[in-house]
Structure 1
Amino acid sequence: MTQTPPLRPPLPRADRLGGLDGLRAIAVSLVLGYHLFPGWLPGGFLGVDVFFAISGFLITALLMREHRSTGGIALRHFWKRRARRLLPALGLVLLVSTSLALLADRDLLVGIGRQITGAALFVSNWTSIAAGSDYFARDAPEIFRHTWSLAIEEQYYIVLPLLLLLVLRFRGRFVRALPLAAIGAASALLMVALAAAGADPTRIYFGSDTHVFGLALGAALALIAAPRSAPAAPAGALGADPAAAPAAAGPIAGPRMPGTAAQFALAAAAVAGLGVLGWLAATLREGSAESFAWGFQLATAAALLTVWAVTRPGARIGRALDAPPLRWIGERSYGIYLWHWPLLLIATAVLGGWPPPAIGAVTLAASVGVAALSYRFVEEPVRRFGMRRSLALMLRRARTAPRLRWAPAIAGLAFAVAVPATVVAVATAPEQSTAVDAVERGKAARDAEQPAAETGGDDATGGQDPDAAHEGAAAGPIEPEGPDLTAIGDSVMLASLPELEERFPGIAVDAEVSRGLGVGVEIAAQQADAGALRPVVLVGLGTNGPIDPEELEALRTAADGRLIVLVNAHGERDWIPGVNDALDAYADAHRGVVVADWDGAIAAAPAEALAGDGIHPNPSGGERYAESVQRALSELQQPGEAMGFSVPRR
């Protein structure tokens, strides 16, 4: 009986580029912390840029080794290896995740056909840009949004071997590296320039032209500094081939060990690089001006410094980073990265009532477990033997090993279910999410109200001067009515607009999507200057980001003594508890300011009161929003030291 060959023969330790598996484990941990536990690592998205730097260095080092060994680069063989390494795991994620999303939440299927096509063809970064997707939006996350990074890598690897064939005609390491270094510098500067010009942050983040510098500079570093005795190496990035070097290279004499001083210098360089990455991961804000101006560039430089230090022949810091737990994670980081994002969205839809850290922990465990199975039974067999031979080996093992007897049947059944389910998901996907439906309902009510306001003959205060009304308060308190209210809010208020207008006829609402408190302060000041700000100012602007107490004070200054109702926020976003605490503290400390407890009102409501994102209200949720405002207005009329004055009679 023919014995089945082992899937992966162990590689000699001297034949590996040290430290890269451990560095990959750190990189994927940054990404997991950023996505699974919001607020813990606000700059954890830089883990992808660490992958880029590792990948550019490693793949170029392997191609250089092939060129030294054979005198050329086998383009067809290189691209075939890349396909074997990437496509099986990616295809499995696309099929399984789409099928689960069909069962979990149809909101996850919005744009699913475009997402699958973009991911499978490695152009998802550009298809997302063309579709107007927002990487930094939390309202409608796409289930395969994270494949943008694979797209940039694979687009680059179509071009990289061709560039190497050109630059290898030159003599000297630095001369060869210069064109790739120039490409990297141009890409980094283009990111800075577009950000300074006010370009869309997603366009800057997703663009192959603006975000390829880590790969290009990693390749330049490999041309200058890659060890000449670097045969096979561990996978260095998202899907880099762990055994991409040709077997014909043969053994190479081991390198001379660096001395104590050199070891100390290499360790210091690696620690410095990792320290910078840790600082950036803990402090850099996503989509911020500073991230595009220097954050990504500094992270790439720190990653390249670390790569250089840990891959020096004989570097003990490299061996330390290749400790077994880190190496195990690093080898499976491609699968962990692929699975974590869709599983997070699916888990959030299914376990929506759980605390975010619990959902993150469940997702982490599931991602690592599924990635380990994918690595063992899908990625490694196909990478080593190809698809057809891997299937033949699986059938042979099932016949000879009783414990694997049912494996082919289970795999076939899963495939037979997942493919039709994916087809159904694509064919029946909604055009927009329920959250968008909720906001569009509010926009329709707003647009229907505008023509009436334009032809009604009165101004925004019902034909009276708001400042005059503000100055002439009545002797006793009365309940504020719609004409007394100016409302300034975000998409949550906009989705609640029909119910607000029904409960408070004549209310003036200025609400828009993705608006923060800073914009609301400007609007209030402008309306006050124009004489259009009414006696009671209703503000609901805590959904889209943290609130600065200075902004609250600026709002109170703009209101110029008017009563203020602050609507708190609801949703699974890391800043919302802090927002609500800040609003409560400010209202407790200032007269004429109260909080409308929208968070408490909607938390006790049935699930159908909110759209699928758990943030935007449906009609029944809009009623609770209006009720929370009504209760806050009643509090304004309660006697006591906190209030001390009444709403002016109209």
Structure 2
Amino acid sequence: MPEVHAAQSPNLNAAQTAGPSTARNAGRLLGLDGMRAVAVTAVLAFHLLPGVLPGGFLGVDLFFVISGFLITTLLLREHARSGRIDLVDFWRRRARRLLPAIGLLVVVTASAALAIGGDALHKLGWQVLGTATFSYNWLAIADGNSYFDSTSPELLRNLWSLAVEEQFYLAWPLVLLALLVVRRRWVRVALVAAAAAASAVAMGLLVDPADPTRVYFGTDTHSFGLTIGIIVALLMGGWPDAVGRWPRAVRPLLMPAASVAIMGIVAAFVWLDGDALFAYRGGLVAVSLLTALVLAAAVAPGSALGRALEWAPFRWIGTRSYGLYLWHWPVYVLLLDALPTWQGAEFMWQLAALSLAITVVAAELSYRFVEQPVRRLGFRATLSAYRRAWDAPRSRIAAAAITAVVAAAGTATVVAIALDPGTSSAQSQIARGQAALDDTASSGPRGGDAQRDDGSEAGAGEAGAGSTSPVDRADSAALPSGDQITAIGDSVMLAVVPQLQAQFPGIRVDAVVSRQMRQAPELLQQEKDAGTLRDTIVVGLGTNGSIGMDTLEQVREIAGPERRIVLVNVQAPRGWTPEVNAALSEFAQRYRNVELANWRDAIAPRLDLLARDQIHAGGDAAGAVYASALRDALQRLALLPPVLDRHDYWLGDLPQ
């Protein structure tokens, strides 16, 4: 979440706002706006162009480091100047900066959600509660929401990071007061460094590879960026205001280290996926440390990097980064609901451009007419000006119009919360699929391992369900029955379980929300070790991220030459979809016992059958299309002639 800009205000005392080792320019910290601009641009690219910048989510970690540094610098300067920290004044300034923009965002987007209807209203009540109480991240964790779940894109999901920062604003000044009792600066730095290390270690230990939301949202596990920024402020707090008087060990390393750090951050933006386990076991920490190096170099007196980051476009974006961050995600979600036919990958850039245009306009209007007036005048003075407007005939109409708009938006927000549908359209279908799996499990052996018509058990060791022996050649031309199929998938497969069970009675389905293709080898190996892996394997993964050929090769190696594999391709408005589908198609063409179920092309003429996210089935008709695409793939496999060995070709046994 973009840091507050109190230190950027030209009418603040320079001694209060400039860090100990920063260039003073009308009370501004040079370079910070440029760093904010880079961070918010990365986040916007990550959300508005899914898959184009896989590591764009790391922009949030840049903001965390900037926040920790800037807030600590302000507090240290105030303490050095007056010998005290006015906590009430600090919290009041934070409220002036944050609350007006948030309030405007909530009522406007909730009103728009009410007008559009549908999934945008999903769980709006607890989202507003989390926003109002600065606890969005913890409420999301308690509710079991996944940051990486595309089935229910909450309207205000991006405010999780704002909640983390707001909790920091509330707690850190109190902790700093206690820390200032410690006279030695190195001890202070060591204590904060220990807290940063504890947070980073906790993230690495507690991360769930299937869904890292808990450690990503948690203030305890994702506060190392803030503490690293604090360390920079504590270290620089005793350094002079002339870079030539800085410690000799620091001066020659400053710009080279910053240059390497910039390259590292850019590389992370491009290559570090949010679903990579490394991101939570060192990756995010590394990016935070690199950001600290860039930050130190940027705010150094006379820094060339700081001057470069003062480029006018950077400054414009940086000063409005808070509004840009607030608005971009709700605008995008609302457009997804309002324009369902634009959710295909071919419309990704158009949708992103429209979202960005609306975001920029909304952020600018909020900045000029809401954020700046309240920040400049304060809540009381702003309210007094509003009351005076009613007394002047010329401004009375404007005051009445503002009152009417605010009242209407507030009422619409309450109604929108009341009309929460409970579940999104995609989640409703997923719940049906899960219920179907639960019914199957409760009525007999898991996945349809029931008695066959001839009375034999379709379990391990048979030529049917759990066999590890080759398929009998006499039966190879027949379409496999359900009790010969193991299917693993993500939420897309889970949403069509009833149709799969109807088309292939006895099919064994293992589907989970947010599952990645990289989990397929482990899942299949577990089934194989248990003796329950069947002769035909269906893999419906790829919706939630990119895939690698090495993963597919592992799947085929585990399956072995005796089993057949069907890969289901992807229909999703995500940047990685074409790459995923191309990889699946290439792999299916490479091997004789691998076939492609073309779900993407099968559903393309009937996207209206999908849920509003344009990913999951919206009803039985879409599920039937999915099952039919799978049946066609199985039929193509069944029609292949059997593989003949040398004896079938009369080689080696020719008559004399």
Task: Please state which band the TM-score falls in when normalised by the shorter chain.
Answer: 0.7 to 0.9
- Paired position in structure 1 for 2:369: 377
Distance apart, 1:524 and its partner CA: 4.6
Q: 1:336 Cα shift?
A: 0.8
- Whether the 8 Å CA contact 1:227–1:313 is kept in 2: the answer is no
Which residue is equivalent to 2:267? 279
The answer as to whether partners of 1:63 and 1:161 remain within 8 angstroms in 2 is yes
**Structure-2 residue corresponding to 1:457:** 451
Aligned to 2:489: 489
Query: 2:28 corresponds to which residue?
Result: 16
- Corresponding position of 1:430: 421
Which position in structure 2 is the counterpart of 1:331?
319
How far residue 595 of structure 1 moved from its aligned partner, in angstroms, is 1.5
Q: 1:488 aligns to what SS in structure 2? A: strand
Amino acid at match of 1:378: V
Deviation by residue 1:500-548 (Cα, 9 ceiling, x = unmatched): 2323344443434333445444555555566655554333223233333
CA distance in structure 2 between the partners assigned to 1:463 and 1:316 by the alignment: 71
Preserved contact between residue 340 and residue 612 of structure 2 (Cα < 8 Å): no
Q: What do the CA deviations read for 1:11-43 (whole angstroms, capped 9, x no partner)? A: 782532211111111111121122122222222
Superposed CA offset, 1:49-85 (max 9, x none): 2111111111222222222332211111111111111
Q: Is the 8 A contact 1:591 1:644 kept in 2?
A: no
CA distance in 1, matches of 2:486, 2:224: 49
Q: Spell out the pairing of 1:106-117 with structure 2 (5 A cutoff).
A: 106-117=118-129
Q: Which position in structure 2 is the counterpart of 1:204?
A: 215
Instruction: Tell whether the 8 Å contact from 2:32 to 2:299 is kept in structure 1 after alignment.
Output: yes
Counterparts of 2:485 and 2:556 in 1: how far apart (Å)?
Answer: 15
The letter of the residue matching 1:217 is I
For structure 2, the residue ranges without an aligned partner over 5 or more in a row are 1-8, 13-23, 645-656
- Residue 200 of structure 1 and its aligned partner are, at CA, apart by 6.2
Q: Which of residues 341, 355, 360 is equivalent to 1:363?
A: 355
The match for 1:217 among 228, 234, 256 is: 228
Deviation for aligned residue 1:620: 0.9
Identity %: 44
Within a 5 Å distance, the mapping from 1:552-591 to structure 2 comes to 552-557=552-557, 558-591=559-592
**Counterpart residue identity of residue 233, structure 2:** A
Are 1:136 and 2:133 matched, yes or no?
A: no
Query: Does the CA-based 8 Å contact 2:42-2:269 persist in structure 1?
Result: yes
Q: Taking structure 1 as reference, are residues 378 and 360 closer, same or farther at Cα in structure 2, changes over 3 Å only?
A: same
User: Aligned partners of 1:468, 1:212: CA distance in 2, in Å?
Assistant: 49
Show the counterpart of 2:16. none
Indicate how the Cα distance of structure 1 residues 412 and 41 shifts in structure 2: closer, same or farther if over 3 A, else same.
same
Per-residue CA shift, 1:110-138, capped at 9, x if unaligned? 32222111111111121122212212222
Q: 7, 23, 36: which is aligned to 2:48?
A: 36
Q: Which moved more, 1:31-40 or 1:375-384?
A: 31-40
**Which residue identity does 1:116 align to in structure 2?**
V
Q: 8 Å contact 1:462–1:506 — kept in the other structure?
A: no
Displacement of 1:269 in angstroms is 4.1
AA partner of residue 345 (structure 1): V
What is the SS of the residue equivalent to 1:605?
A: helix
CA distance in 2, matches of 1:456, 1:276: 55
Which of 56, 75, 85 is equivalent to 2:68? 56
2:116 and 2:400 mapped to 1: Cα distance?
Answer: 25
8 Å CA contact 2:463–2:471 kept in 1: the answer is no
CA spacing shift, 1:149–1:476, aligned 2, 3 Å: closer
Which residue pairs with 2:542 in the alignment? 542
How far does the alpha carbon of each residue in 1:97-116 deviate from its partner, in whole angstroms, 9 at most, with x for none?
12222233432333222211
Matches within 5 A, 1:464-475: 465-466=463-464, 471-474=471-474
SS at 2:150's partner residue? coil
1:291 corresponds to? 279
Question: How far, CA to CA, are the matches of 1:386 and 1:99 in structure 2?
Answer: 26
**Aligned partners of 2:475, 2:170: CA distance in 1, in Å?**
78
Q: Which moved more, 1:327-336 or 1:493-502?
A: 493-502
Count how many residue pairs are aligned between Structure 1 and Structure 2: 609
Whole-Å separation in 2 of the counterparts to 1:41 and 1:360: 13
Which residue of the other structure, out of 430, 443, 450, is the alignment partner of 1:439?
430
Q: Which amino acid letter does the alignment assign opposite residue 295 of structure 1?
A: G
Cα distance change, pair 421–473 in 1 and its aligned pair in 2 (3 A): same
CA distances 1:333-373 after superposition (whole Å, capped 9, x unpaired)? 11111111111111222233322222222212221221111
CA contact (8 A) 2:109 2:330 kept: yes
8 Å Cα contact 1:66/1:73 also seen in 2: yes
Superposition deviation, residue 396 in structure 1: 6.7
Amino acid at match of 2:329: W
Greater CA deviation, 295-304 or 170-179? 170-179
Shift of 1:295: 1.4
Give the distance between the partners of 1:476 and 1:515, measured in 2 at CA. 31
| C-alpha distance in 1 between matches for 2:62 and 2:56 | 10
Cα 1:538–1:398 shift into 2, 3 Å = same
Cα shift at 1:308: 1.5
Which residue matches 1:596?
A: 597
Q: Would the aligned equivalents of 1:465 and 1:531 in 2 still touch at CA under 8 Å?
A: no
Q: CA shift at 1:380, angstroms?
A: 0.8
Residue 645 in structure 1 maps to residue 637 in structure 2: no
Deviation track 1:435-489 (CA, whole Å, cap 9, x = no partner) reads 1211121222233334554495333379963259954323894444445544333
| Range 324-333 or range 380-389, more displaced | 380-389
- 1:153-232 map, 5 Å: 153-195=165-207, 201-226=212-237
Task: Work out the CA distance in 2 between the residues paired with 1:453 and 1:169.
Answer: 66
User: For residues 265 and 443 of structure 1, do their structure 2 counterparts lie closer, same or farther at Cα, with a shift above 3 Å needed?
Assistant: closer
- Would you say the 8 A contact 1:258–1:315 is kept in 2? no
Q: Secondary structure at the match of 1:546?
A: coil
Amino acid at match of 1:221: V
- Range with bigger deviation, 442-451 or 71-80: 442-451
Given residue 458 of structure 2, which amino acid in structure 1 is its aligned partner?
A: A
Q: Please say which of residues 614-623 and 585-594 is displaced more in the overlay.
A: 585-594
CA shift digits 1:598-645 (9 cap, x unpaired): 1111111152x222322221211011112212322333355xxxx333
**In structure 1, what is the Cα distance between the partners aligned to 2:526 and 2:220?**
40
CA deviations over 1:158-180 (Å, ceiling 9, x no partner): 22222333333444543444433
**In structure 2, what is the Cα distance between the partners aligned to 1:176 and 1:556?**
55
Return closer, same or farther for 1:333/1:633 CA change in 2, 3 Å cut-off: same
Work out the CA distance in 2 between the residues paired with 1:167 and 1:526. Answer: 51
- One-letter code aligned to 1:645: P
- Gaps spanning 5+ residues in structure 1: where? 1-7, 230-254
Contact 2:436 2:497 in 1 (8 A): yes
Aligned to 1:245: none
- Partners of 1:491 and 1:589 lie apart in 2 by 27
- Report the alpha carbon displacement of residue 198 of structure 1 after superposing the two structures with TM: 7.0
Q: Measured at CA, do residues 155 and 512 of structure 1 come closer, stay the same or move farther in structure 2, by a change above 3 Å?
A: closer
Is 1:74 matched with 2:65?
A: no
Alignment-derived partner of residue 381 in structure 2: 389
> Paired residue for 2:333?
345
* Cα separation, 1, equivalents of 2:340 and 2:560: 38
Q: TM-score, normalised by structure 1?
A: 0.84
The residue type equivalent to 2:564 in the other structure is L
| Closer, same or farther: CA 161–509 of 1 in aligned 2, 3 Å | closer
Distance 1:271 1:399 in 2: 58
Deviations 1:365-409, CA, capped at 9 Å, x for gaps: 22122111101100111111123422554687899999x997545
In the superposition, relative to structure 1, how do residues 522 and 214 fare at CA in structure 2: closer, same or farther (>3 Å)?
A: closer
